Chain A
Amino acid sequence: MRAILLTAALLGAQLALPAQAKELLNSSYDIARELFADINPLFVQHWQQQTGETLTINQSHGGSSRQAQAIIQGLRADVVTFNQSTDIDILHQRGNLLPENWRERLPNNASPYYSTMAFLVRKGNPKGIQSWEDLTKEGVTLVFPNPKTSGNARYTYLAAYGDALQRFGDDRDAARAWMAEFLARVAVFDTGGRGATTSFIDRNLGDVLITFESEVNNIIKQYPDLGLERVVPPTNVLAEFPVAWIDRNVARNGTETQAKAYLEFLYSEPAQRLLASYYYRVHHDTVKAEVAEQFPVTELFTVEAVFGSWEQVNREHFANNAELDRLLAEGRRRR
């Protein structure tokens, strides 16, 4: 009888504490699945060699705003690897899950890799697209997702707007007129990046698909028979991919050292090389030199420098009846 009770107690204890072997949960954005499926084994091996501890890394992927919401509601992610810093800021503002200065805890604004926007054009670049200005040439139609629902498209909108402001020497009216024309050229506004890809590839809509440079390269690799080509415009926006450990959750899970080491590992040479192979731009000097020809030189401006904080950008550009809605309405009137 005693033996049975003891066994039951042990079994119960084991069920109650399933996290005997350390686990990390990485909450990430939609399209990073293949990337982290490759990085995680590298880190697990690295950690095993360094400490002898066997780690399991679990992944959750979704739109990064949605991922942030889940964490605020109690998803116990140890680290986040997002594509919008506002979504990490919100973890501080709404849930106080990490300190406000999370950006300063890791190098390069806590962004181990970055990207920018690029154009995907059809075989032979028949419309001769080289720059943002070319996108409003006669007869050119565009595909990119809806800036209201997609972070990806917000960058496209801001990149185009930033370029227009520069081109027209900060003549706001001229830049706005061009933006209205630019937005009027969009054949379909899908809700997300992958939906826009489907419209461009499967439904054969539009002459140019605008998305992250990394995604453009992946699509070209995915559909080698179509002869699609990549164009990186000479001025462009810097898109950061910020990472952070969630202080509240790592304290609870007892994974603080592992979570920090995991994120620091993203800056190491092997991880940066892997990131570059997924066509993300990286900071590590050796790797950067190796892959230099993969990444056309382009002048990158930050969203903050041209448009102010993301909060301000959202309020002034993407809120209801803000700049985006006004420009769309102007574009419609003109047609």
Chain B
Amino acid sequence: MKPANPLNSQQRWLRPVLIGTGVTLTVLLLVIPLVFIFVAAMSAGLGGLWHNLKDPDMLHAIGLTLFIAGLTVPINLVFGTLIAWCVTRFTFPGRRLLLTLIDIPFAVSPVVAGLLYLLLYGANGPFANLLDQVDLQLMFAWPGLVMVTVFVSCPFVVRELVPLMSTLGTEQEEAAVLLGASGWKVFWDITLPNIRWALLYGVILTNARAVGEFGAVSVVSGTIRGQTNTLPLHIELLQQDYNTAGAFIAAAILTLIAIATLVVKAFLQWKLARETT
């Protein structure tokens, strides 16, 4: 019997068409806009670049964005691992509900998330008096920015870990426990090496989202320059001030942070690959 492959007769023209479409779309949608960001950022020349870069508000926006990501990533790393561990290693009533709850930050618009926090922890919320007594300002200050960023980026680590940990199963860990290993040792020597790739990927995604978040942050920021203005908010602000070059410079910095994250990821991948061989 002849193998029936309907593609065979068409392959000759199908392949270049498919590849061509893919490449064209990539160039149009990804490469050109990316290059354009950097070209536009340089449009004001080196002097303009330096002038915009040394602006204290710009420096503060960069610092604040990195600071928020620096807090968000570890919080979500620990939180995400705990939740994933919980739902894949134990069965308990409400397990499915918990998994669904974790997806809520993906399902609701970030603006809604910001508004929720504002209504809950703002001056008219149920905790207003309590926060007032201890003189703790959450909204329109950096703690609020961190809170909403943690919220919108919390599903990434969980979502990366859960499928993997489900397929891995519990045999190795059970064996370790039977051989007398402590809980911590099991996690460190058995679980972590198995999930580190997924974990790393989750961290990269969390970081990307934390650095780039606009909607939720915009609601609780109050956009005080030099205090609560993150880099994405700063881009909008510069754009509205007719400082297009400045806006593109800020955008270029944001892009560079993203590229740096990818480089770190690639480096870790390479290092881990060497370790295992």
- Footprint of B on A, CB under 8 Å? 16, 25, 27, 30-31, 33-34, 58-62, 70, 72-76, 95, 194, 222
Contact = CB atoms under 8 A, between A and B. Distances in A.
12 contacts: A34-B241, A60-B223, A60-B224, A72-B123, A73-B118, A73-B119, A73-B122, A73-B124, A74-B123, A76-B137, A76-B140, A222-B242
B137 A74 contact: yes
Contacts of B241: 33-34
A222 B244 CA distance: 12
Nearest to B138: A74
Interface residues of B, number: 20
A46 to B, nearest CB: 21
B222 A59 contact: no
Chain B interface, DSSP helix/strand/loop, else mixed:
loop
A73 B237 contact: no
A60 B124 contact: no
A92 to B, nearest CB: 15
B27 to A, nearest CB: 25
B255 interface: no
Contacts of A73: 118-119, 122-124, 139-140
Nearest to A223: B242
B140 A75 contact: yes
A33 B246 CA distance: 15
Contacts, number: 50
Contacts of A27: 222
B265 interface: no
Given A58-B224, A58-B227, A70 B140 contact: yes
Contacts of B226: 58
B240 A58 contact: no
Contacts of A31: 240
Contacts of A72: 123-124
B225 interface: yes
A61 B268 CA distance: 42
A25 B122 CA distance: 18
B224 A59 contact: yes
A34 B246 CA distance: 15
Nearest to A33: B241
B66 interface: no
Contacts of A60: 222-225
Given A34-B241, A61-B237, A95-B123, A74 B128 contact: yes
B59 to A, nearest CB: 16
Interface string B252-267: 0000000000000000
